[in-house]
Structure 1
């Protein structure tokens, strides 16, 4: 009876350890996936309607195949979904015209940039950041922080 009880306890411990290992592995994979950022949206208007972003309230923002997309309203999402290739082609064409970020450090913190960190585009200029906190702060007042960009 004591041997059976010991085996049962051992079996429970092994199962618990396996569950912990699986949870840690899943968490690590999820954290790794979160560090991959979508390419920033390069246009100042809705790719579907042509309306200036913000003219109808907060833009509707989503990610499509690794590309951030901003629409003037949620209603344009149906048109985007009907022909995503047409609209992503317009976004990709606009992205080719964006000026690359000239520095090797975050404009907000001065910290070195990670290899594949977050980025935003403001008035045709790319801005790169060391973390999403810096990106969020920049995105709230882009004109204020964009002025810090060194002139070439």
Structure 2
């Protein structure tokens, strides 16, 4: 899966980060995680074909000297096996390496990084992240569905709802006894729940439903609070200049509507195109 395996395992607990701040700040302008390293801000971007580190300059534009190089030491999950990669300047500009991460989707990645030839001192820091699958958690899907298609009972009222997968979609039932009835009329139930419109919460704000799953997975975070969608219950859905934008809670709607162009521009900068409302 990986190349250039290092000879010795890495001990996270013993790594010395003295003199280097590495507090996570927020989702970065390119969809990665931003942290402070000394007086610099670094965005770590993990994709299925590689890992990039962007030194953010004015207006969060990435900067990288053409001769910048470095080393990445990578561990996956709880494994002690360590992989070492040589970093180089990319066209973005960024500093990174091409590596196939498709087999470690949703597994935590521990990265010890040293970037050199960018000033008098190298940048040394630890970063964490993962290549997300883009799928919503079962907990969020249950919240979006809310009720059992067969009995109409609230999901969770009879224990953990059993999951039934039909093609590339899933539905949940209140109990195992409803599974056969769901499967016998699967197409009708899928159509009903995956085209349902959410109820109105307040003016301009609606509850999301299973019909919004792909859009929620694509947007990932609330543009106002930068919180993961679903982390505070069912995401709200807001009409912003004719586009459907999702928020972590109804309280974010006021700021979103007050500055629609700002938040739409923020989403665009992250490569997110909201669907039509």
TM-score normalized by structure 2?
0.28
Higher relative contact order (Cα pairs below 8 Å, separated by 6+ residues): 1
Q: Greater helix percent: which structure?
A: 1
| Larger proportion of strand | 2
